Amino acid sequence: MEGVDHLAHERNKSEFDVDAMKIVWAGSPHAFVVSDRISKLVASDPGFRKDNRSTLSRKELFKNTLRKAAYAWKTIIDLHLSEEEAAKLRFYVDEPAFTDVHWGMFIPAIKGQGTEEQQQKWLPLAYKMQIIGCYAQTELGHGSNVQGLETTATFDPQTDEFIIHSPTLTSSKWWPGGLGKVATHAIAYALLIVGGREQGVHGFIVQLRSLEDHSPLPGMTVGDIGMKFGNGAYNAMDNGVLRFDHVRIPRNQMLMRVSQVTCEGKYKQSDVPRQLVYGAMLYVRQTIVADASCALSRAVCIATRYSAVRRQFGSQNGGPETQVIDYKTQQSRLFPLLASAYAFRFVGEWLKWLYADVTQRLQANDFSTLPEAHACTAGLKSLTTTATADGIEECRKLCGGHGYLCSSGLPELFAVYVPACTYEGENTVLLLQVARFLMKTVSQLGSSKKPVGTIAYMTRVEHLMQCRCGVQRGFAELSADLVEAAVAHCQLLVVSKFIEKLQQEIPGKGVKQQLEVLCNIYALFLLHKHQGDFLSTGCITPKHAALANDELRSLYSQVRPNAIALVDAFNYTDHYLGSILGCYDGNVYPKLYEAAWKDPLNESVVPDGYHQYIRPLLKQEIRTARL
Ligand SMILES: CCCCCCC/C=C/C(=O)SCCNC(=O)CCNC(=O)[C@H](O)C(C)(C)COP(=O)(O)OP(=O)(O)OC[C@H]1O[C@@H](n2cnc3c(N)ncnc32)[C@H](O)[C@@H]1OP(=O)(O)O
Ligand SMILES: Cc1cc2nc3c(=O)[nH]c(=O)nc-3n(C[C@H](O)[C@H](O)[C@H](O)COP(=O)(O)OP(=O)(O)OC[C@H]3O[C@@H](n4cnc5c(N)ncnc54)[C@H](O)[C@@H]3O)c2cc1C
């Protein structure tokens, strides 16, 4: 029945203060208040409804996304929302759109690679959305290999301009979000050519479309690259294709914080590392780790609530069947994902601090922690997105057949989420960057340069020094193993940051104890999953492995009575979850049944096509009719 909490008996089992855990999850009392208020504002506004998305055509979906983006912007202006509140509103609207890239990449790229003068010119226009930006780096022929990009930017000293050109088909810009139909400007990455010399890839601000009638400017061939994976909401994003035909831009539209070109045509490399050209990717990768904890927690919330509602087998003398959440197999699949959602939350908090710290140091021209920041953002982005994509799919399977319904929210969540394993750095390519960082550290062992920070533990691998044979040859040959070592390094980061979180003051009855259980589940599940490596390297004995497995089962039993409360702590509205299986009151079956009849296919009892195709079949008329 509506209004009845079918999960009340589960909530009454909780052994900790859920409201206090909500604040831990949000990050602070202030963050909780903002999140709670904005999520409810979005959920209560019919202008932000999303339950009809699966029935829309791509063009309807795209136009609806434009409407929502405009409506969101109007809401932000009318309610005088702060930047923090506006970001939360865009988050809870939960619609992949050009605004993600405008705010998440275009603006950070100008802030990180633009001069003060360029920031003062372009940021006010971008903040007021008087221009809409995209990040045009990837091309048809190159994505991972940034230095292989073919678009050219040739300086013309006669006119003090750059000529942006796509010399080959493979140099076509391909994938940039927002490029296809909406963006008026791009940060375009191109091979800089000055005085006939190539100077590497740099970023340029290029206007794409008229601000009067939105038509592409001369020399631009631009459009959408077509439908993407599944029928999910990511098809509301206009990932685009763009070819430049000798497009001229003023010299002052090259982002010049890292390098400069003078009006005389002199190329000047300032004393900052050229890698700052990659700065926007560093920023986005750290935000993607926080996004992973959100996406995984959504899927875990759905699967946990449904596992408590679903009963299958086990009825004694006509009594109720067993809740599937009580099966040890269900717990061994679900609870490590619940622990991972919390683990990624906390390592994401730490990574946000690390990024802020490296950004502050860069402003003082202190580049000492940039390599570590790159390795951490690259590695944790790779680890958390892979685990989250796999975790969402596991949550779908944990919900049985109903998990495959769009109304479960899981198929779309998966379809929208999985490209995170590829964009912002393909996950294996990023792990190779971590491996390179680790091997560089090994090569420096024994020197005066002692490993510090997240690699301080490596002083204990001095014995590896002997294997510094032909580092480059060895690296390529052993890259598959080194990628595994990179994952292990990042897992150490996740576990250690979870432990550091537990060393902080954590208010609320039973809250710290619950987090300790989740931290132990995360760590012991890793030990269990990789016990072959731990045993073969002598890190643990078979007895240790057995004890770890026993302890893991015991920890699952400790989580069980608190599972519903632990996902309630995410404080997601039913609107944001977008899932009948994960609805707060657990009243699943009536909602599933009611939702089925809303499908357009049920608008008529006799389906379109019956008279044309089915009736002739049934009446055996098909044999005579020509097919
Ligand atoms: C919230 C927003 C929503 C987002 C929605 C999704 C939108 C998606 C957008 C995109 O996908 S944008 C495009 C993303 N593309 C990539 O991520 C490309 C990945 N490739 C690269 O980053 C680089 O090509 C590479 C793989 C790092 C290789 O770089 P390079 O060709 O220069 O060679 P290396 O020799 O490997 O590196 C040289 C040197 O520089 C260091 N380094 C590399 N990257 C960075 C960095 N980002 N920051 C700092 N330092 C970096 C690297 O460690 C090497 O250092 P040394 O070892 O020489 O000390
Ligand atoms: C949904 C989505 C949105 C995107 N949005 C944007 C955007 O807004 N702006 C933008 O510029 N780009 C965007 N991209 C592009 C994205 O950044 C690239 O697709 C990504 O960087 C991967 O590059 P790639 O496609 O060239 O993959 P490839 O590098 O071609 O990967 C193919 C395979 O080759 C392997 N591989 C590649 N190099 C090596 C190596 N050196 N050693 C071992 N293995 C290797 C990879 O591991 C992978 O298995 C988007 C992509 C997607 C899917």
For residue range 87-106, list pLDDT tens digits in order.
999 999 998 899 999 999 99
Looking at residue 82, its pLDDT comes to 97
Residue 447's pLDDT band (cuts 50, 70, 90):
confident
* Average pLDDT of the residues in 315-335: 95
Q: Output the CA 278–ligand 1 centroid distance in Å.
A: 6
What is the overall mean pLDDT for the chain?
94
Residue ranges for the known binding site are: 138, 177
Predicted pLDDT of residue 280? 84
Give the pLDDT mean for 112-130.
Answer: 96
Residue 84 has pLDDT above 70, yes or no: yes
Q: Residue 486 pLDDT more than 80?
A: yes
Looking at the predicted structure, is the pLDDT value of residue 619 above 60? yes
Q: Parallel, antiparallel, or unpaired for β 161-165 and 152-156?
A: antiparallel
Tokens of 627: 């097919």
User: What are the pLDDT digits (tens) for 266-288?
Assistant: 999 877 778 877 788 899 999 99
Binding residues for FAD: 138, 177
Nearest to 515 by CA among 5, 60, 56, 16: 16
Which residue from 226, 395, 393 is spatially nearest to 301, judged by alpha carbons?
395
Using the predicted structure, report yes or no on whether residue 1 has a pLDDT greater than 80: no
| Residues 279 and 105 sit within 8 Å (Cβ to Cβ) | no
Compute the chain's Rg from CA coordinates.
27
Q: Determine which residue's CA is closest to atom 51 belonging to ligand 2.
A: 423
Count other Cβ atoms within 10 Å, centred on residue 212.
6
Query: What angle (nearest 5°) sits at the alpha carbon of residue 348, between those of residues 347 and 353?
Result: 95
Looking at the CA of 292, name the nearest ligand: 1
Mean pLDDT over 513-534 rounds to 97
> pLDDT by residue (tens digit) across 241-256?
999 999 999 999 999 9
| Parallel, antiparallel or unpaired: strands 247-250 and 161-165 | antiparallel
Q: Is the predicted pLDDT of residue 475 greater than 90, yes or no? A: no
Residue 424 catalytic? yes
* Lowest-pLDDT choice from 368-372, 426-430, 439-443, 472-476: 472-476
Query: What is the structure's pLDDT at 462?
Result: 56
What's the CA gap between 54 and 407, in Å, rounded? 9
Pocket test for ligand 1, best of 433, 437, 472 (most atoms within 8 A of CB): 433
Nearest to 294 by CA among 362, 216, 391, 172: 391
Which residue's alpha carbon is at the smallest distance from atom 26 of ligand 2? Answer: 143
Q: Whose CA is nearest to atom 52 of ligand 2?
A: 423
**In whole angstroms, what is the distance from residue 410 CA to residue 587 CA?**
18
- The string of pLDDT tens digits covering residues 358-401 is 999 988 888 889 999 999 999 999 999 999 999 999 999 999 99
Ligand 1 pocket residues where CB is under 6 Å: 100-101, 104-105, 135, 137-138, 144-147, 177, 275, 278, 281-282, 284, 287, 370-371, 374, 423-425, 429, 433, 436, 440
Residue 471 predicted with pLDDT over 80: no
pLDDT at residue 275, as a whole number: 80
Sheet containing 173-174: which strands, arranged edge to edge? 173-174, 240-244, 220-224
Give 70's pLDDT tier (boundaries 50, 70, 90).
very high
Angle at 371 between CA 365 and CA 374, to 5 degrees: 110
Q: Which of 59-63, 71-75, 469-473, 614-618 has the lowest mean pLDDT?
A: 469-473
- Per-residue confidence at 627, pLDDT binned at 50, 70, 90? low
Q: Which of 212, 424, 551, 603 is catalytic?
A: 424
What are the phi and psi torsion angles at 178 (to 5°)?
A: 85, -15
Please give the single-letter amino acid code of residue 63. K
Region for residue 299 given its phi and psi (left: phi exceeds 0; alpha: psi -120 to 50; beta: otherwise): alpha
pLDDT for res 623 = 59
- DSSP for 93-153 reads HT---HHHHIIIIIHHHHHHHS-HHHHHHHHHHHHTTSS-EEEE--BSS-SS-GGG---EE
Q: What is the dihedral of CA 508, 304, 562, 553, to 10 degrees?
A: -120
How would you class 45 by CB atoms within 10 Å of its CB: exposed for 0-12, middle for 13-18, buried for 19 or more? middle
pLDDT for 136-147, tens place per residue?
A: 999 999 999 999
- Rounded to 5 degrees, φ, ψ at 155 are -80, 130
CA distance 27 to 571: 13
Q: Which residue has the tokens 């599944």?
A: 230
State the Cα–Cα distance between residues 125 and 123, nearest whole angstrom.
5
Rounded Cα–Cα distance for residues 79 and 69 (Å): 15
Q: How do strand 185-194 and strand 152-156 relate by DSSP bridges? A: parallel
